[in-house]
A and B are shown apart, each in its own frame.
Chain A
Amino acid sequence: MEQNYNTRRSFLKSLGVTLGVAGLGVSSGVLTSCSKVSSVSPEGKIRLLTPGGTLVEVDASQLTPAEMPSLTDNQKRGRLGMEGKSWVMVIDLSKCRNARQCMAACQNHHQLRPEQHHINVLQMQDAEHTAPYYMPKPCMHCDNPPCTKVCPVNATFKRADGIVLIDNERCIGCRFCIAACPYSARVFNWFEPRDAEKYEGVTYNIEANVPQKKGTISKCLFSADLLRDGKLPSCVSACPNSVYWFGDRNEDAVTNGTTKETVSFSKLIRDNGAYTLMEELGTKPRVYYLPPKNRTFPFEGELIEKGHQG
């Protein structure tokens, strides 16, 4: 019963967001890639495509534009984080088949150019004769983050729920954090970002780091804006192959983005021999990997390069 309480309200709310965004002449960005205004009929009825994929018709008067907090409120809220939460991600390498839906959803959500990756699916081969595998690589949201250590202006920071965020209203573009990050998780806006003129004047949302800004850093932020709405990060829900588990370590629960199954986090990582990437660097990542054994899909295609290194 309590599961149903939010359907109508959040449905309308999400429509509101869509409309609000549409009003700015923006196809989508706040929501997932597939939600968009289909058409506006003359009687004030609006046909909308919901994130779920169904076409609905709603009276225009019923809709209110989604509320966006002011820039300072948004920045303050974004810097505090969500109380009592401790977000973690588990990536099951045995399930990844390089479908790259995560990358596409992420680039849509965060308004990234095709060569900019908050999450990047890498072809890995640990040693010369070991089996190659695909490894999605988001930001590790380290608990000992080398990037926030070096930031001269506190533009990148770690908040109480574990997410490492970037404030592109403050970033001076020195790129020290890129040099410091051993996971190559950060990207820079070398030129005007994608669709810059389209998003001109849109209030900056620190939790999604949109709109992007020229001359500043961008990075994976576990879709902090979606988390605030109780939704899974866009990469997690976009995956067709049940690769991603995401949840709150304090609650000891992670939910699969594809099957929506919720399991105990500690049991999942214990039973499957989870590891973190380059733990020898002492960065204490929040992203756990389950090793690529008993794979659902064999590794296909040509190896881009020999060996583990680029």
Chain B
Amino acid sequence: MNEIKSPEESRKSLDRIFRDLTRSITHRDEMSRFWLFILVMFAIVGVWGFIIQIQRGLGVTGMRDYVSWGAYIANFVFFVAVSLIGFLISSTLHLLKIEWSKPISRVAEQVAIAAVAMAGLIIVMDMGRPDRLQNVFLHGRFASPILWDLTVVTTYLVISVLLFYLPLIPDLALLRDRLTGVPEIQKKIYTVLALGWKGNEEQYRLVTHAMRILMILIIPVGLSIHTVTSWLFASTLRAGWDTTIFGPYFVSGAFVAGTAAVVMVMFVYRLRYRLKNYFTHHHFDMMGKLLVFVCLVYLYFNINEFLVPGYKMRLHEGIHLRELFAGGYSRMFWFVQIAGLILPIFLLLFKYFRRPFPMFLISFLVLVASWFKRYVIVIPTMEHPHLPVQNVPDYFKHYAPTSNEIVILLFGFVGALIIITLLAKLFPVISIWEYAHQQGIDKKYLTEKPENQ
């Protein structure tokens, strides 16, 4: 924390901070309209694909009786994984009293909300009868991991939204009081959401208190969301899934994907909203180190996951591993391992690569590899059940997503990007009051009416 500033200085720098951090809201140009237009177009195509899928049946996908879980499930696992970063950055690092991560927490929460919301939607899109979703509530079986998954996804979404909202309240009051040049309706939204914030001691105490509780609560919930997702696979008897380390394996993998996603969003904000002084080289440097750390943990679990069964090569495990190491999935598998794990670890050891732009590129690679990692976890296992696959057409034996399926898959990404974009367009991407506080600006200046109004 910087030293206490004089009132004059405080007011000045608060104005500057406010201007910088609300640029995402006030800044409107052709580029952002075009971006939203593209996203909405893709989303419409995705919805159209989904309507076709409902009319004709899940058969419009590449899935069949043997590979009955395909890219949708891989996509679902990917989004659940990405969402986990919210809990790592905005809760764990906070509780560890790590200072540098504070400006990043809101980005992390944005990513978490977008990802977990899409994960919930994707799982509904994967159902054969989405019209019967209510059966899960009417006839839910406590013994089914799907019920646990549904419970934990909803819970995590609610906690993430609260964790996004609580530190936003003082900012909302700032927006309510100071923001100009936005539609009346938007102002009204800020007024309502600001809950009559006055910035008194009691209110700050309540926010901190509630935040603390949520930060602790999200740790077990966050861990269980991805652990339960891993149990969807680990609770079956199939080679490649039937392993005990799937819980921590998935959680550590999730941190890799999530960190990469947050770095990418950070980089875009930094560029688009001119936040060079807020998302600094230092932040990217630290995120780079974090990425190396989570990659190393993930590498450790990967070694466990493949070396132990690979050493024994039991019948079905052996077939599965051969397929991954040298068979039809070997290219994808080695791309995932090298581009998504080995390479980032190696490159990010050098400070040169921990600068914003190289970080952005590496994160992109990691994120792509993370998606294919989920694909490699889901599909090869399904292609090799215990008993031979016979008396079915050839296209039952090998899975490849159809165009209709890809359109719906893209909907997941587009939907997440729309949510992130809207959140950035509505709310500051860095907590203004916390940042101001960090800059040594006293809270009392926050509630002051700005002079120039």
Contact = CB atoms under 8 A, between A and B. Distances in A.
Interface of A: 103, 115-117, 120-124, 137, 146, 149-155, 170-176, 178-180, 182-184, 186-192, 214-217, 278, 281, 283, 304-305, 308-310
A134 to B, nearest CB: 10
B128 A173 contact: yes
Given A120-B390, A149-B235, A151-B141, 12 more contacts: A122-B390, A152-B136, A175-B69, A179-B68, A184-B387, A188-B65, A188-B128, A190-B58, A191-B57, A215-B57, A216-B128, A310-B397
Given A188-B65, A188-B128, A115 B392 contact: yes
B126 A310 contact: no
A155 B139 CA distance: 9
A191 B58 CA distance: 7
Is the contact region of chain B dominated by helix, strand, or loop, or is it mixed? loop
Contacts of B237: 146, 180, 182, 281, 283
B393 A189 contact: no
A170 B136 CA distance: 10
29 contacts: A120-B390, A121-B391, A122-B387, A124-B388, A150-B145, A152-B140, A152-B146, A153-B132, A153-B135, A170-B135, A173-B58, A174-B127, A175-B128, A176-B145, A178-B68, A179-B68, A182-B236, A183-B387, A188-B64, A189-B128, A190-B57, A190-B63, A190-B65, A191-B56, A191-B57, A214-B128, A310-B384, A310-B388, A310-B397
A174 B146 contact: yes
B388 A176 contact: no
Contacts of A154: 139, 141
B57 A176 contact: no
Which of A116, A124, A178: most chain B CB closer than 10 A?
A178
A309 B316 contact: yes
B386 interface: yes
B293 interface: no
Interface string B364-400: 0000000000000000001011111111110011000
Interface of B: 56-59, 63-66, 68-69, 126-130, 132-133, 135-136, 138-141, 143-147, 150, 232-233, 235-238, 315-316, 319, 382, 384-393, 396-397
A271 B393 CA distance: 39
B132 A170 contact: yes
Contacts of A308: 315, 388
B385 A172 contact: no
Contacts of A217: 128
Given A172-B135, A188-B58, A216-B129, A180 B141 contact: no
Nearest to B386: A182
Contacts of B238: 179, 182
A30 B308 CA distance: 52
A57 to B, nearest CB: 40
Contacts of B58: 173, 188, 190, 215
B144 A149 contact: yes
B66 A184 contact: yes
A57 B389 CA distance: 46
B14 to A, nearest CB: 52
Given A153-B135, A179-B69, A308-B388, A174 B235 contact: no
Contacts of B146: 150, 152, 174, 176
Contacts of B135: 153, 155, 170, 172
Contacts of A309: 315-316, 319, 384, 388
A272 B109 CA distance: 64
Which of A146, A151, A153, A216: most chain B CB closer than 10 A?
A153
9 smallest beta-carbon distances between A and B, as pairs? A173-B128, A190-B59, A215-B128, A310-B388, A152-B146, A310-B389, A152-B144, A191-B59, A178-B68
B315 to A, nearest CB: 7
A142 B233 CA distance: 20
A115 B63 contact: no
Contacts of A216: 128-129
Contacts of A305: 388
Nearest to A175: B68
A281 to B, nearest CB: 5
A171 B59 CA distance: 17
Given A150-B145, A191-B56, A171 B128 contact: yes
Contacts of A304: 388, 390
Nearest to A178: B68
Contacts of A171: 128-129, 132
Which of B128, B146, B382, B397: most chain A CB closer than 10 A?
B128
Nearest to B396: A115
A100 B236 CA distance: 30
B65 A153 contact: no
B68 A188 contact: yes
Contacts of B56: 191
Nearest to A185: B387
A93 B130 CA distance: 42
A172 B136 contact: yes
Contacts of A124: 388
A146 B236 contact: yes
Contacts of A189: 57, 128
Contacts of B130: 172
A156 to B, nearest CB: 10
Nearest to B56: A191
B403 to A, nearest CB: 16
Contacts of B388: 122-124, 304-305, 308-310
